């Protein structure tokens, strides 16, 4: 009987661990870093922004993002969509942006070039309490390695404080 209890306890513990891994947000528990948001282009497309080379923020010191012109596309997962509609973001909400190089073709028309970076903010009120409940990630061209350390995440958070009344989110969503 004791052997069956131990086997059953082991099975339950293993199943609980597997379920926890399956339901875990896109962060690593060891250092709180934010993981690359695989599949973000399949989420709800929010909007695009064309940033010209003469954009005033490029003169800020330090210029946190690549100080170059580009096309920014913004995406939100379903939990973030609920937050964009209600103003309240639950844990697991993720907003991703990607910056693409703006290329001028031979015929003078502009279009998308290579991905310069992808950035993400992940809602986890407990893990990221010191940054307003959001974790931040930045992924350079083609990389899935987050380049932001704790200090850089604080820098992101300081910029987002201006939008505290909007859940620290700059993006707005308009139903189409």
Ramachandran angles phi, psi of 33, nearest 5°: -75, 155
Residues spanned by the domain of 92: 26-166
Decide: helix, strand or coil at residue 111: strand
Is residue 16 a part of any domain in this protein? no
Predicted TM-score of the model (pTM)? 0.73
Is residue 80 a part of any domain in this protein? yes
Is residue 33 a part of any domain in this protein? yes
CA distance 130 to 126: 9
Q: Can you tell me the mean pLDDT for 132-149?
A: 92
Q: Can you tell me the mean pLDDT for 144-170?
A: 89
Is residue 7 a part of any domain in this protein? no
Is residue 15 a part of any domain in this protein? no
**Listed range (52-61, 86-95, 122-131) with the worst mean pLDDT:** 52-61
Q: What is the pLDDT of residue 150?
A: 85
Is residue 57 a part of any domain in this protein? yes
37-50 pLDDT tens trace = 999 999 999 999 88
Is residue 38 a part of any domain in this protein? yes
Is residue 103 a part of any domain in this protein? yes
Domain count, the chain: 1
Strands, DSSP E only, in the chain? Answer: 44-51, 70-76, 94-104, 110-123, 134-140
Note whether 1 and 7 are within 8 A (CB). Answer: no
Mean of pLDDT over the chain = 78
- % the chain with pLDDT above 70: 73
CATH number at residue 112: 3.50.70.20
Query: Which of the pair, 55 or 138, is modelled with greater confidence?
Result: 138
């Amino acid at each position: 009987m004791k052997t069956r209890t131990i086997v059953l306890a082991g099975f339950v513990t293993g199943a609980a661990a597997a379920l926890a891994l399956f339901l875990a947000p896109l962060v690593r528990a060891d250092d709180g870093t934010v993981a690359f948001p695989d599949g973000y282009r399949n989420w709800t497309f929010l909007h695009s922004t064309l940033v010209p080379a003469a954009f005033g923020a490029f003169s800020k010191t330090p210029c946190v993002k690549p100080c170059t012109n580009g096309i920014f596309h913004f995406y939100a997962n379903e939990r973030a969509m609920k937050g964009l509609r209600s103003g309240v973001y639950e844990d697991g909400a993720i907003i991703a942006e990607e910056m693409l190089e703006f290329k001028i073709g031979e015929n003078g028309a502009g279009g998308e070039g290579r991905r310069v970076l992808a950035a993400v903010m992940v809602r986890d009120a407990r893990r990221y309490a010191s940054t307003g409940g959001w974790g931040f990630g930045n992924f350079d061209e083609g990389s899935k390695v987050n380049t932001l350390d704790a200090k850089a995440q604080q820098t992101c958070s300081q910029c987002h404080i201006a939008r505290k009344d909007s859940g620290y989110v700059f993006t707005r969503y308009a139903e189409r």
